[in-house]
Chains A and B, each alone.
Chain A
Amino acid sequence: MSELSDAVRARLKAWTYELGGPGTRARLDKITAPANEFGVDPYGFDLDFAVAAVAPLTWLYRKYFRVELHGVDNVPAEGRVLLVSNHSGQLPFDAAMIEVALLVEKDPPRVVRALVERWVPTLPFVSTFMARCGQIVGTPENCRRLLAADEAILVFPEGVRGLNKPFRERYQLRRFGPGFMRLALESGAPIVPVGVVGAEEQAPALLDLKPLARLLSFPAFPITPTLLPFPLPARYHLHFGEPLRFTGSPDEDDAELERKVAEVQAAVAALLERGLAERKHVFW
């Protein structure tokens, strides 16, 4: 059983290296995760597993969504940073594509920790897969700890409200929650705004079966042209903006904080606007 999984893992890793293009292996070997003798870091991140697990995602990145990357150098090569992105597409492929981009395209690669919803750890397989790939539950305590350790965190301040919004409201940002700004002020981490164009069209939600969602305790149950939110091959455009730095007290009153949050939201909106203007076609 373990021989089989070892063989599968080796094949998947080779696939990742191949899809990543020449030099991928050498770049990925530069990552040093603080793993113990069992290959995991204290959060349960297993680099070896992650390199294998991203193979199918890298295939999606290269062949299916054919991601175009803009401004990846705006993500600092090291040190604490918050990536703040719009969220869309019913299933969080946008998070996966951002992570693959920074792992496979960036030199040296950056491991990004996306903050996942609190209900994700109740899902079988998904919970384990997320943990081994370095994704963690988005509690403030977790973020503080990771930023203090100079890690990169990916935040979707719109949460599921953005992810599961109906198709007619595509590219209209939902109000950003202010939690990430308090963390940025507290830790002094810069914020890199990220605009994802293409994910909205991957799974247009025509309606949301709210009673069914409640029954399954899912945040939403969208009905898309493919019925289940399986993504269509829309072309992705990832835009990374210039880092924003904020100063102030994490305890300042809401009005002041909202002003800073609005600044980040405007930066993301500008990236989306640019991305949409530059885009020639949804699928090509």
Chain B
Amino acid sequence: MAPRTEPITFPGMPRTVLVTGISGNLGRALAKLLHTETRVVGLDRRPFAGKPKDLAHHQLDIRKARVEEVFRRHRPEALIHLGIMHDPRELRSETHSFNVLGTHKILDLCARHGVKKAVVLSSANVYGPRPDNSNFLPEETPLMAGERFSEMRDLVELDMYAQSFMWKHPELETVLLRPVNIVGPTVRNAPSNYLRLARPVTVLGFDPMVQIIHEQDVCRALALALRPGLRGVFNVTGPGQLPLSAILHQLGRHPIPVPHLVVRSLLRRAFEARLTSFPPEEVDHIQYLCVVDGSRFVREVGWSPSASLRDTIRSVVA
């Protein structure tokens, strides 16, 4: 069952919102939520399938000089930056350049063209799953995800850059959102794909608490972040946390427990042989804790997810 998707609106909603990475699954869902409330301009190097008629889309790489033309023409008041690529099979240098350079370019353009608000989507996984993590990580926790999982370094770097941008440009309201694992019917990220496996690998004897959030709730959080006056870094939590085994049980999965001493080397071989899309570093996420404290977003925005825990779990099979 889909959660309620009442339009999000508030006084001072920016009149034009530029959304990067709009052609992705999350971007498209966000566009559907936002285009009735404000003028949405899309920016993505991929075409936007099923684009609403009132939405202007520019098929451009965000690193290209012509992106400035989009700013000049549409004069966006706000940016929502989703244009981040995660693909463990993609060439490292290409994803790194796209993610890091792209973010630099787009935020610089915001500062130059009088954009008032920049919402950047990061992830709660920037803290990294670690055995000595506190049960609830506040926003001030060091971003350690890159320590063991180099693919995460892009995201950590992007997150750090957005933070320094926030301090360098006080005239611009920068909001950095770190949602927990995003799941949903359309998203194709690692947590959703993992939960879709009929026989997922688990680590024998480990059953960490896991937080998930429905893609629709992430879209609502991104829209709420546009509210005038809001700036800062926020963890965004879903309807709660529960043991990984309870999620798998709820979905009727039959896990294959593998001892922790061999799971990484087995997964490495399987990944290299293209038998799985999960790099071995992902094992940390099903072995150790990476649960965040979302109380700041609740306090400052009145955040509450609309999808229940059960519906959020079920959403991966919807």
Contact = CB atoms under 8 A, between A and B. Distances in A.
Contact of A42 (B136, B206, B260): B136
Contacts of B124: none
Given A42-B135, A137-B134, A37 B206 contact: no
Nearest to A122: B131
A123 B132 CA distance: 12
Contacts of A137: 131-135
A43 B289 CA distance: 10
Interface in A127-155: 127-128, 131, 136-137, 139, 141-142, 145
Nearest to B291: A42
Given A139-B134, A141-B138, A145-B136, A124 B203 contact: yes
B209 A118 contact: no
A197 B15 CA distance: 71
Nearest to B209: A44
Interface in B234-250: 240-243, 246, 249-250
B138 A38 contact: no
Contacts, number: 72
Q: How large is the interface on A (under 10, 10 to 19, 20 to 34, 35 or more residues)?
A: 20 to 34
B289 A121 contact: yes
Interface in B186-224: 203-209
A37 B309 contact: yes
A42 B135 CA distance: 8
Contacts of B205: 123-128
Interface of B: 131-138, 203-209, 240-243, 246, 249-250, 259-260, 288-289, 309-310
Q: Ordered nearest first, which 8 A-B pairs have the shortest CB separation?
A: A124-B205, A125-B205, A121-B131, A141-B134, A118-B132, A139-B134, A128-B207, A38-B246
14 contacts: A36-B240, A36-B309, A37-B310, A38-B309, A40-B209, A40-B246, A124-B204, A124-B259, A127-B205, A137-B133, A137-B134, A139-B132, A145-B134, A145-B136
Given A121-B132, A128-B207, 10 more contacts: A37-B310, A40-B209, A43-B209, A44-B135, A44-B209, A118-B132, A121-B289, A127-B131, A127-B206, A137-B135
